[in-house]
Amino acid sequence: MTHHHDDDSVLLIIEAEAVGQRLDRFVAAQLPDLSRSSVQRLIEQAHILRNDRPTRPAEPLKLGDRISVQLPDAVDTTLVAENIALTIVHADQDIVVVEKPAGMVVHPAPGHARGTLVNALMWHFPDMQVGGGFRPGIVHRIDRDTSGLLVVARHDQALQHLQAQQLARSMTKEYVALVMGGMSSDAGTIDAPIARHPRDRLRMAVVGGGRPARTHWRVDERIGQLTLLTITLETGRTHQIRVHCQYISHPIVGDPMYGSQFGGFKLERQFLHAQQLGFVHPRSETPVNFTSALPADLSRALAFYRRSQ
């Protein structure tokens, strides 16, 4: 993969390993600042050209294709290092594993240029260099009000290695969730496609023809009219666990968008925590595994619900 980069455009020349990939998926993987949907928009607006011609997002890549990307303005300028406290679970020359607190956005976006995990990482690890800039490599995200484990790449090779695992769905991601209602069985799988809600653009929903999504759950504890679940993700769609729990009529306690409050305890956010993360380390090529205890706000809520049953 050869790469030429000046301030506002990037030229990608397709080598053997990328042949046959979809154009939009490939560009989004190469330029981690751009989401897949923003890449698709750039393609539709002819800001991404294949061999100097407009093209389609699903176009399969051929050997030697020249993909030129006109970057949207100010992809870089909004990124400011900020001295924000971070809980670092693990750091080495290739990766950083952090515990993201509830309330923190992972990546700067319109309306959230500051105070994000990326801003904090740039302060704590100023030598991170991904995509030709001083920035961390975001491999996966967690919703703003979900807490828990996230791995970040410190350089391009680590990012590509981790993104390949993400695409192959070989990372293990385990969450703990407290949901409304008693579950009739002890374990199950929710397999239902997810896309933007047809009427409310801020929400996701189960939509026929959406992107495939699979969530596995098992019961950890039954607490009166609530159930504590351990959830493992097979895919990582936006809001996946929250949407899927609502879909099977067991919405997450405290979720302002897809759930509800449950008597007597005011939870400020959804009861959802990424408690375990496993992947193959990009340098050692051996499996690593990290765990994170339930944060104080969720522990307090759980203690309250147990007492009041």
Q: Give catalytic residue positions.
A: 143
Q: Retrieve residue 304's tokens.
A: 């309250």
Give the angle subtended at the CA of 216 by the CAs of 101 and 118, to the nearest 5°. 25
Q: Retrieve residue 41's tokens.
A: 């928009």
Q: Are 297 and 268 in contact (CB under 8 A)?
A: yes
The residue assigned the tokens 């959830």 is 231
Go through 255-268 and write b for each residue having 16 or more CB atoms within 10 A of its CB, e for each that does not. bebbbeebeeeebe
Q: What are phi and psi of 174, to 5 degrees?
A: -120, 135
Please name the residues in contact with 168: beta carbons below 8 A apart, sequence gap of 6 or more.
Answer: none
Spatial separation of the C-alpha atoms in residues 276 and 37, rounded to whole Å: 28
